[in-house]
Amino acid sequence: TTNLTSTSRISTNFTSTNLSSTNLTPTSRISTNFTATNLTSTNLTSTSRTSTSLNPTNLTSTSRISTNFTATNLTSTIHISTNFTSTNLTSTNLTSTHLTSTNRISTNLTSA
């Protein structure tokens, strides 16, 4: 699917396998009981995404935001975390100002 624009699309009990989507712009899309396998997406933009109980492996992220984390003028370039595992980690009301991190590489970090 290329250059697909949908408005108020409602999907119920939707099962898809081996989807490849490029340049999707969904508006007011509601999906119920959505199961997708082997999805490949390119040029996705997400706003206000909240994730709970993450256990990421081989994660490469830019501008990562955690709960109650306020960052001002934060520049992160080539921030690579490999085999990062955190268990029962709680961060509350962290404030960082004028952080600049360049070529920061973390390998095999474990916090419990």
Tell me what percent of the residues of the chain surpass a pLDDT of 90. 0
Dist. CA 46–CA 102, nearest whole Å: 24
The pLDDT value given to residue 93 = 57
pLDDT of 65 strictly over 50: no
User: Contact at 8 Å (CB) between 26 and 1?
Assistant: no
pLDDT of 58 strictly over 60: no
